[in-house]
Structure 1
């Protein structure tokens, strides 16, 4: 009888691991791993923020930028026209004088009443520099923001689809890259004419190509990762894969480049204004102020160009300090102290 029982049990497959307690423990393990995976992105961001806080030069740049933004906002009251009436949004005026002409105080060197002196037309240079911060800073931020909004989708589409789509977009980028940045901007402004938004449009047209090429190179490597394959297997649309899964994981170098390019765009806008291709003459934009003071330098009135030039120098320096800090904080190759500092 015992032999028969052993014979009947022979050949049966015993499968273990379906015990309820074991399955519950396995589910808890999976939940823990998912929670750890969700925390990894937050951990990387926390490490990047920690590294950024250790960079004193970056915080010095933030301090300079914060001061300039404060001056730009409160230099002169801000009003909005609604139904033919002007409604003040910001009533404070820090600028000591108006930016209008006043021949009474023409060519005045720096003194107690005019700390930065006046121009040939009697405009107070300190007030011009303070009000001009609105134009220069807004040109830099708006132009870079629009260039990113144009360049990132174009580069993302080119890198994801490849083939003739990639060829068409990249050939346009190559053609635009054949022209020097400032020369191409001058040609576009010569066609469009002078003006605030026309200058921004010209800077966007010549600025988006850098972001398109940068994001394309990042996406060529990111799109082969496992989570992209999983999204495709689950039937996600291409637009969802590109802008929800791929682009967010490839934006770190774009953010660094955009931060640094704000200073470059402000410098380019000042150069265009100095060449007489920026805003209308008399506008309190830093480059336009420099353009109006070219003859003053020859006549020995140094203050007309020194103070607007210093404003440009300090702004570009502050942007570069912040940009370097952001680059060091988001560097995926950083191995100092912590690992996994990147955003991939």
Structure 2
């Protein structure tokens, strides 16, 4: 009977994995979005080696090549597939490097916000009482203001810089993780396995991170993908407004801002191409996050 029960448990586990995989990759749109995300991450990582030009090396730029249309050749014979900006930078290379910075800021801020919010949510649900009240009232206060407004206020105080932008994004994002994790952990805290762990004399740290945390991970993973996409879009908005990253470290948002003033003159490619890349990146990450939410939630599966 013991071997039969173990076999049944393994079969049930494999069946569950099959349902999740079919939910994730059973739709062409999800497969396309996943492949797009992987491709964009690979391009960002390999940008220094595959970019046709280092757009931030002043020695390699020529002002005569400024504002060339897509497909034109510069003075030295360089082919600008997506055109050039006012400084003569190759737009394709600038977008690769801008994608690298945007993804780096979004991923780092998302990971830090996830770690902070998840820890606070677990602590609030585990201890309850005044600890829970303090954490959740702080979460309510943070979520009561628009994220972009809080980020603008923080950057107005801190100034420009990659570290400042990451700090501002962490401050506006951690509350989403804390609220979600607290709601899930509050249910798990009252289950039998948690009571058994406490009866066995496990420390608070082990009970939190070895028992409670693994059962709260599925919603955290889903929120992390969505919040990383939101962080990339928020950073682009801040950089477009001129309060985000400095000119020496331009992201996709700053590239869009550089070409915005030249749209009327007909130089559309300077702003439109980075905008399309940002749209594809955020849209693909949202599709993957939404499909993952559906796959990990049996109530949403058909």
Distance 2:91 2:157 in 1: 31
Paired residue for 1:64? Answer: 36
Which of residues 13, 16, 27 is equivalent to 1:44? 16
Which of residues 134, 142, 147 is equivalent to 1:181? 147
Matched, 1:273 2:273: no
Q: Is the contact between residue 121 and residue 181 of structure 2 (CA under 8 Å) also seen in structure 1?
A: yes
Task: Label 1:282 to 1:109 Cα distance change in 2 as closer, same or farther (>3 A).
Answer: farther
Deviation, 1:34, is 6.1
Which region of structure 1 is more displaced relative to structure 2, 182-191 or 105-114?
105-114
Distance 2:265 2:181 in 1: 49
Aligned residues: 292
Deviation, 1:183, is 0.7
Matched, 1:98 2:64: no
Q: Is the contact between residue 58 and residue 321 of structure 1 (CA under 8 Å) also seen in structure 2?
A: yes
Whose Rg is larger?
1
Matched, 1:332 2:298: yes
Deviation by residue 1:207-228 (Cα, 9 ceiling, x = unmatched): 1000000000011111111111
Paired residue for 1:255? Answer: 221
Paired residue for 1:25? Answer: none
Deviation, 1:56, is 2.3
Paired residue for 2:165? Answer: 199
Q: Is the contact between residue 283 and residue 289 of structure 1 (CA under 8 Å) also seen in structure 2?
A: no
Deviation by residue 1:174-210 (Cα, 9 ceiling, x = unmatched): 2212221011011111111111121111101111000
Paired residue for 2:133? Answer: 167
Distance 2:246 2:80 in 1: 24
Which structure carries more helix by proportion? 2
Deviation by residue 1:89-148 (Cα, 9 ceiling, x = unmatched): xxxx22112314431111212124212111112222111001111101111111111111
Q: Which runs of 5+ in 2 are unaligned?
A: 73-78
Paired residue for 1:296? Answer: 262
Distance 1:117 1:282 in 2: 20
Deviation, 1:300, is 2.1
Distance 2:15 2:195 in 1: 25
Which of residues 94, 100, 109 is equivalent to 2:69? 109
Distance 1:39 1:143 in 2: 39
Paired residue for 1:122? Answer: 88
SS in structure 2 at match of 1:293: helix
Deviation, 1:167, is 1.0
Deviation by residue 1:22-65 (Cα, 9 ceiling, x = unmatched): xxxxxxx4575467557755653443123222132221111111
Deviation, 1:238, is 2.1
Deviation, 1:149, is 0.4
TM-score, L = length of structure 1: 0.80
Deviation, 1:296, is 0.7
Which of residues 100, 107, 118 is equivalent to 1:134? 100
Deviation by residue 1:289-331 (Cα, 9 ceiling, x = unmatched): 1121221112221111000000101101110121122112111
Distance 1:177 1:31 in 2: 51
Two-structure CA RMSD over aligned residues (Å): 1.9
Q: Which runs of 5+ in 1 are unaligned?
A: 1-28, 77-92, 337-344
Distance 1:238 1:30 in 2: 33
Task: Label 1:197 to 1:42 Cα distance change in 2 as closer, same or farther (>3 A).
Answer: farther
Distance 1:252 1:39 in 2: 21
Distance 1:203 1:231 in 2: 36
Deviation by residue 1:245-270 (Cα, 9 ceiling, x = unmatched): 11211221111111122211111110
Give the 5 Å matches for 1:76-95.
76=48, 93-95=49-51
